[in-house]
Amino acid sequence: MNIVKMLVENLRLGPVTLRFPDTAPVAPRYRGMVEFDPALCTGCATCAFVCTSAAIKFRSRRDTYNWSYDAGQCTFCGRCADGCEAHAVTMQATPPPPYFESGQLKIEHTLPRKKPGAAK
């Protein structure tokens, strides 16, 4: 093919590229950041026990307990959501937002310890 003929044809057709979408498509069953519902939490600490990356920390005190999650450490494996029988821990279906400093996405909750019969 003649180079001049190819240049003229490309100029005649104009750009033929596709525009990128505004956001990246998310695959089905995508596991994003952990969502925590303090009202459903029983304080069993199973989520922290099964967290392989130590992104979830659980500190028990006499009348309260602290639950914290650092998305910067999370591997998004979903074991915490699978292990939570009270369904207080779930996974979002969207990717985490960009962050620039360590601990910027950290979430902490201090909750009162529930009586054994009041957890239902």
Q: What is the pLDDT of residue 13?
A: 87
pLDDT, one tens digit per residue, over 93-117 is: 888 888 888 888 999 999 998 776 6
Q: Spell out the domains of the chain, with CATH numbers in brackets.
A: 30-119 (3.30.70.3270)
- Examine the pLDDT at 119 and tell me if it is beyond 80: no
Q: If you search the block for the tokens 């009586």, which residue do you land on?
A: 115
pLDDT above 90 as % of the chain: 51
pLDDT digits (tens, 9 = 90+) for 16-61: 787 887 777 888 888 889 999 999 998 899 999 999 999 999 999 8
Report pLDDT for 99: 86
| pTM beyond cutoff 0.85 | no
